[in-house]
Amino acid sequence: GAVVSQHPSWVICKSGTSVKIECRSLDFQATTMFWYRQFPKQSLMLMATSNEGSKATYEQGVEKDKFLINHASLTLSTLTVTSAHPEDSSFYICSASSRGLAGGGHEQFFGPGTRLTVL
Amino acid sequence: GENVEQHPSTLSVQEGDSAVIKCTYSDSASNYFPWYKQELGKRPQLIIDIRSNVGEKKDQRIAVTLNKTAKHFSLHITETQPEDSAVYFCAAILNQAGTALIFGKGTTLSVSS
C-alpha cells in the first residue's frame, strides 16, 4: 500500500519551454503533497508543500511563478517548470502523506522521481 | 526554522562491521525523525523512523537512537552487507504544525566485501 507514482520518469526539453510533472497517490488519498529537487550528489531540497484545494507553500528561494504547483485533487499534484533553463535540470521528486494512514500523517511516501534535462 | 546536520558525509566499512551515522537538529519542537536509504537514481526509501516519545527503536540489523535533550539522533547498522551500500539521509519535521521534512546532506555508505 501507499504507492506514489510520477510521470514522466524523465524528460528532455529545450530552454524556454515549460514542463509539467505529475504526481499521483495510487491507493490512498494524500492530505498533503510535497515537491523536492535533488541535484547530483546532493540532498533533497524541499521546494513546496501543497494541500488539496489550497495554494502551495513555497520554501524560501523557490520562485512560485516559475514552479507552478497545482493540487486539484486528493490523488494528484502537478509541478510545472515554466520557461525552463539549463540550471533547472535536476531530479524532481514528489512525496505524499495522509493523516488517514498509520502514523498520523508523518510518514511520507515518495514517487520515483523525474529526471529533467534542459538543453 | 529547522536545520539538520548529518555526519559523516562518507563512510567506508568492511562487510560485517557496524556503521553509525549521526544527525543533529535545531528545533526542539520536532517530533518525528525518519531515516531514508537512496540508491542511485531511485526514490528515497524509509528504513526506520522514531518519534520523540521514545529513545530507541530497532528493526533487525537497523536501530535508531534519539537524545531529545542533546537534539541528536543516530542510525546504527550492524553486520553490514554490500547491499547496504547507498546514500542515507536523516530528516526531521520542519515544524510541529506541519509534516514537511528537512533532510540532512546525506552519508554515502560503502560496504566492501
Residue type, A44: L
| % residues pLDDT > 90 (chain A) | 76
Q: Which of A108, A114, A115 has the highest number of chain B CBs within 10 A, making it the mutation to test binding with B? A: A108
Q: Do A49 and B43 touch (CB under 8 A)?
A: no
CB nearest A107 (choices: B49, B98, B102) = B49
When pLDDT is cut at 50, 70 and 90, the band that residue B2 belongs to is: confident
**CA dist A99 → A53, A79, B4, B53 (Å):** 16, 23, 24, 19
Q: For residues A99 and A83, what is the distance between their CA atoms, to the nearest angstrom? A: 35
The per-residue pLDDT for B89 is: 98
pLDDT tens column, A35-91: 999 999 999 999 999 988 788 999 999 999 999 999 888 999 999 999 999 999 999
Give the cell for residue B18.
557496524
The per-residue pLDDT for B84 is: 98
Tell me which DSSP letter residue A56 carries.
Answer: P
pLDDT tens column, B24-49: 999 888 889 999 999 999 999 999 99
Chain A residues whose CB is inside 8 A of the B3 CB are none
**CA dist B73 → A69, B30, B67, B103 (Å):** 33, 12, 6, 13
Cβ-Cβ contacts under 8 Å between A and B: the total is: 50
Mean pLDDT of all residues in chain A? Answer: 92
pLDDT tens column, B83-103: 999 999 999 987 655 678 999
Give the cell for residue A69.
504547483
- CA B10, B26, B31, A107 torsion: positive or negative? negative
DSSP codes, A70-112: EEEETTEEEEEE-S--GGG-EEEEEEEE-TTSTTTT---EE--
Q: Does B41 touch chain A (CB under 8 A)?
A: yes
